[in-house]
Amino acid sequence: MPVRPRLSVLWRDRAGRFSALKAATLLALTVPALALALRWSLVGLGARPLNAAIHDLGLWGLRLLLLSLAISPARAVFGWARGLMIRRMVGLAAASYLAAHFTLYALDQGFRPLHIGHEIVHRVYLAIGFTALVGLAALAATSTNAMIRRLRRRWKQLHRLVYAVAALGLLHGLMQAKSDITQPAILVGFFAWEMLFRALPARRQSAPLVLFLLAFVAAAATAGLEAGWYAAATNLPWRRVLDANLMPELYGPRPSAWVGMVALAVAILATARSVFNRRGRAGPSAPEPVPLRG
């Protein structure tokens, strides 16, 4: 007999028990949308409210997408197996924010389908965003338990698309910026960190030394990608942008610093954890095998 989906899957685990983790995640994921709606209705979003909302939703969608990609690394580093229970929820939240992002764009363009189609085809950054959104829709549509069972091995292959979707989303975010790419550059840096992590051999992924090295490499990659973008897309002196990374007293933290600091924090926590574990406290350092997807 087909199981009818119930809303309560959002806060119950597979065994049907209440899951505080899932419930808390669900709440947290609605915070950016609620905050936006509250600001919009109470104080307004300024002179171009729709555009401000489009930007906010695009940024949050991309942030959540990158967060969903950080969950399996978190399992590898911290043995946080339960994280997988919420991965699908985070991914679907990202898809929802980006669907809203597109809907507001359509609204801003007066819901004229032909005109919107014309714009998407003619503006490269919109064509890229659209491609990403189509990919995301395919991922969301195949995220039901039934689809996962039906597709089996092919499901895993299909859902590797998420990396391409994220990369396209980042490119779209970079291209829409007028000349200041600070926000998208930070996200590009986190993506680079996640991709570098994935490239590591599985048994090295939780080694503190490797993680420290990775933090350094990810920060350098962020700086390189940022300066590279300025070199490729603008006439600005990319050397100066690169040099700014080394002069925080003048420029404040650049994107490389944000990425480096978060990556460093992960490395430090991983070190603490491995020291803690070695002191004889219980707990395997390698992740236990867990059932995928809550």
Partner 1 sequence: MWIRQWRNWNLPESAVTPEQATLGRRRAVALAIGGLAVGRVAAARADTTPPAGRYDPGRPLTEEKFATTYNNYYEFSTDKDLWRAAQRLPQHPWTLRIEGKVRAPRTIALEDLLKQVAVEERIYRHRCVEAWAMTVPWTGFPLAALVKLADPTPEARYVVFETLTDAKHMPGLAMLWYPWPYVEAVTIAEAANELAFIATGLYGKPLPPQNGGPIRLVLPWKYGFKSAKAIVKVTFAETRPATFWETIQPAEYGFWANVNPLMPHPRWSQASERLLGSDERVPTRLYNGYAEQVAGLYAGKTAEKLFM
Query: Where does this chain bind ligand HEM (CB under 6 A)?
Result: 51, 54-55, 58-59, 61-62, 65, 98, 101-102, 105, 120, 126, 129-130, 132-133, 136, 169, 172-173, 176, 183-184
For the window 234-253, what string marks contact with partner 1 as x by the rule CB under 8 A? Answer: xxxxx-xx--x-----xxx-
Exactly one of 8, 114, 157, 180 binds partner 1 (CB under 8 A); which one? 180
CB distance 20 to 12 below 8 Å: no
CB distance 9 to 145 below 8 Å: no
**In whole angstroms, how close is the CB of 49 to partner 1 at the nearest point?**
9
Cα–Cα–Cα angle for 74, 76, 82, nearest 5°? Answer: 60
Say how many residues touch partner 1, by CB under 8 A.
Answer: 32
Query: Looking at beta carbons only, is 107 or 141 nearer to partner 1?
Result: 107
From the list partner 1, ligand HEM, none, which binds 133 (C-beta under 5 to 8 Å, kind-based)?
ligand HEM
CB distance 73 to 66 below 8 Å: no
For the window 202-231, what string marks contact with partner 1 as x by the rule CB under 8 A? Answer: ----------------------------x-
CA gap 128, 126 in Å, rounded: 5
Query: Looking at beta carbons only, is 126 or 218 nearer to ligand HEM?
Result: 126
Which DSSP state fits 142? T
Query: Looking at beta carbons only, is 13 or 108 nearer to partner 1?
Result: 108
CB atoms within 10 A of CB 278: 9
Query: Looking at beta carbons only, is 110 or 280 nearer to partner 1?
Result: 110
CA gap 3, 210 in Å, rounded: 45
- Residue of 4, 143, 148 lying closest to 87 (CA atoms): 143
Segments in 70-181 forming alpha helices (H) = 71-78, 84-108, 113-122, 124-141, 145-151, 153-159, 161-176
From the list partner 1, ligand HEM, none, which binds 200 (C-beta under 5 to 8 Å, kind-based)?
none
CB distance 201 to 187 below 8 Å: no
Residue ranges in contact with partner 1 by CB under 8 A: 46-48, 50-51, 108-110, 119, 122-125, 175-176, 178-180, 182, 230, 233-238, 240-241, 244, 250-252
